């Protein structure tokens, strides 16, 4: 399976969003149950504007959904997209280096640098190339 640039860019986007402690805490809270902004504010002890900005980043990465009940908005983890991200990470890590579209240069360097190491399985290095 070829890992293309779109897949890699999506991984990078989500890792950037999740690379913030507060957003990671919000994701964990929302994995337990849906919450209103005010509840997240109270739990984390942050300003509402800060929580709203973090939720906006999580929504833009499609990791969080919102549901309205009148004027009240509930936020929940988008399990479908979160699990798809998890599967993309797994595919990326399990894929052969040679099947990753943007890593041709690194694949050649790996062969050159490590390929002649005693005990190295050169046939395994960058399989698929």
Q: List, for residues 72-123, the tens digit of each pLDDT value.
A: 999 999 999 999 999 988 888 877 776 777 777 888 888 888 877 766 555 5
CA 42 – CA 35 distance, rounded (Å): 11
> Domains, the chain, ranges and CATH?
5-81 (1.10.10.10), 97-129 (no CATH)
For 122, the token pair is 């050169």
The residue count of the chain comes to 129
> Strand, helix or coil at 84?
helix
* pLDDT value, residue 110: 82
| Strand-by-strand arrangement of the 35-36 sheet | 35-36, 72-77, 64-69
For 47, the token pair is 């300003």
Q: Of the candidates 12, 79, 25, which has an alpha carbon nearest to the alpha carbon of residue 51?
A: 25
The pTM of this model reads 0.78
């Amino acid at each position: 399976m070829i890992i293309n640039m779109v897949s890699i860019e999506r991984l990078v986007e989500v890792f950037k969003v999740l690379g913030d402690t507060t957003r990671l805490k919000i994701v964990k809270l929302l994995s337990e149950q849906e919450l209103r902004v005010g509840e997240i504010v109270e739990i984390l002890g942050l300003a509402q504007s800060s929580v709203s900005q973090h939720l906006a980043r999580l929504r833009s990465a499609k990791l969080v959904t919102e549901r309205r009940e009148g004027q009240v908005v509930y936020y929940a983890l988008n399990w479908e997209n979160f699990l798809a991200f998890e599967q993309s990470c797994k595919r990326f890590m399990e894929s052969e280096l040679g099947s990753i579209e943007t890593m041709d240069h690194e694949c050649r360097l790996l062969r050159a640098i490590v390929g002649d190491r005693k005990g190295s399985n050169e046939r395994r290095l960058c399989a698929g190339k």
